[in-house]
Structure 1
Amino acid sequence: MSDMRKSSKNKALKARERIPDDGYNFEIQCKYPPNGVPRRKWERMCMSWNTKDWEKKSKVGRENRKNDLCRHTGGSKGFDKHRRNLEKIKGKKVGFAEVLLHTHATKECKKRLNDGEINANDYNKLQFVTDRSKRSYVSYMKKLENKYGNTDCDDMEVWESLHPECQGRQLFGVGSSDPHFVLTGTTSSTASVSDTRQLDELQKVQAELEKEREARQNIEARFEQFEQEREQERVEREREREQERVERERERSEHARWQKYMEAKFNKFGKK
């Protein structure tokens, strides 16, 4: 849903509406539905978001994402791209541990690693941008060693087990990239977490649109039936009026013949 809110916000900004840089204004954005979303449906969605409770939860979520996901040294590039770049530079496949060090270790630490002063297993000497990233790295390496006897491999299940709080949202150290590729170097059956979420949102909107289309078709079918019934009634009334006209003509004709007959009788009687 965040993509739709951003799309609406961009439309409102293009229309020179005043929207906060770090938030939304749903009273204004309700007038700017994203492409493919019916106006009335979008207004109902904006009403559900335009509450203090939702804004509070949204603010907490933003802060959590800043603390948990965004504090790294990788810049705006996805972690999958960092892995590809590392493999291109080194000319070989790299492990997830190298990707973690490249994107979460401090600049000084990476220099010492490149100069050979320390190595990836010098846990006490490694410096990371956050305590969480160091704890995650060290725990991951130790679990690999306990499970496989070395740290020269990757295991997505091990990394996921270290971050159960990320279930249902972006995985720490992976972001919106394909977690299977970032961790193992091979793509999964799904393109990415972000794509999957966008697909889910799109399917929900499409389902709502399908319901509205069916409802519109039902209304149109009832209206068409009403029009057909009204046309039948009109035809029936025309037929009845025609029958009444024919009956009146017959009666006038009968009356005229009777009147002519009586006049002839009267004239004949008068001559006698």
Structure 2
Amino acid sequence: MNEEPNFKRIFLDTHLTKECKQKMWDGDIDIYNLEELKFCTERAKKVYGGYLSAMREVYGPNYSEFPDDPEVWARVVGQGRARRVYGIGSSDLDYLVTGTSSSVGSAPSQAEYQRSQEEVQVMRTQMVDLEVRLQQQLQEFMQNWRPPSS
């Protein structure tokens, strides 16, 4: 299992039975087939099934070919209860998933700051391009302009 950890894998590592976890690590079961997975609780099975259904809704029948989607995960896990995630407690789930906080008055994250700086740079470039085009159009107009004869 040489892949980056994600919400899906962490959830499975903490909610599957010991035997099922070993099969998952060995690659002997399909983590997208709910029938092959043996969970410690029905609630865990229901949450994971909800995640797979939500991924199918977002990405279509080939959803398993897409990477883990933390926004879909946050939406499914955060429905109708405290937004706690195993291993991180009651930390701001929005911040962990998107890098932005849902808390009022919080300082922007480094990722959010970086994105805003990139957006500013794109806008500056667009403004410079627009200014150059306007100057070219004005010069062209002035070259072709003939005062009306009286």
Taking structure 1 as the reference length, the TM-score comes to 0.31
Structure 1 residue 129 corresponds to structure 2 residue 40: yes
Give the 3-state SS of the residue equivalent to 1:127 in structure 2: coil
Q: Which residue of 2 aligns with 1:142?
A: 53
Q: Distance in 1 between matches of 2:11 and 2:72?
A: 16
Q: Indicate the structure with greater helix content.
A: 1
Structure 1 residue 102 corresponds to structure 2 residue 5: no
Structure 1 residue 160 corresponds to structure 2 residue 75: yes
Taking structure 2 as the reference length, the TM-score comes to 0.52
Name the % identity.
29
Q: Distance in 2 between matches of 1:188 and 1:142?
A: 26
Give the 3-state SS of the residue equivalent to 1:103 in structure 2: helix
Give the 3-state SS of the residue equivalent to 2:28 in structure 1: coil
Write the deviation string for residues 202-235 of structure 1: whole angstroms up to 9, x where unpaired: xxxxxxxxxxxxxxxxxxxxxxxxxxxxxxxxxx
Give the length in aligned residue pairs: 99
Structure 1 unpaired stretches of 5+? 1-88, 197-272
Q: Distance in 1 between matches of 2:73 and 2:26?
A: 30
Q: 1:189 aligns with which of 101, 106, 112?
A: 101
Q: Which residue of 2 aligns with 1:170?
A: 83
1:95, 1:153 within 8 Å by CA — same for their partners in 2?
yes
Structure 1 residue 118 corresponds to structure 2 residue 29: yes
Q: CA RMSD in A?
A: 3.1
1:105, 1:126 within 8 Å by CA — same for their partners in 2?
yes
Write the deviation string for residues 130-153 of structure 1: whole angstroms up to 9, x where unpaired: 101111101111211221131423
Q: 1:107 to 1:161 in 2, by over 3 A?
A: closer
Write the deviation string for residues 5-47 of structure 1: whole angstroms up to 9, x where unpaired: xxxxxxxxxxxxxxxxxxxxxxxxxxxxxxxxxxxxxxxxxxx
Q: 1:181 to 1:97 in 2, by over 3 A?
A: farther
CA drift of 1:161 comes to 4.6
- Which amino acid counterpart does residue 101 of structure 2 have in structure 1? S
Max radius of gyration: which structure? 1
Q: Distance in 2 between matches of 1:181 and 1:141?
A: 23
Write the deviation string for residues 80-122 of structure 1: whole angstroms up to 9, x where unpaired: xxxxxxxxx84x4333211110121111111011122202112
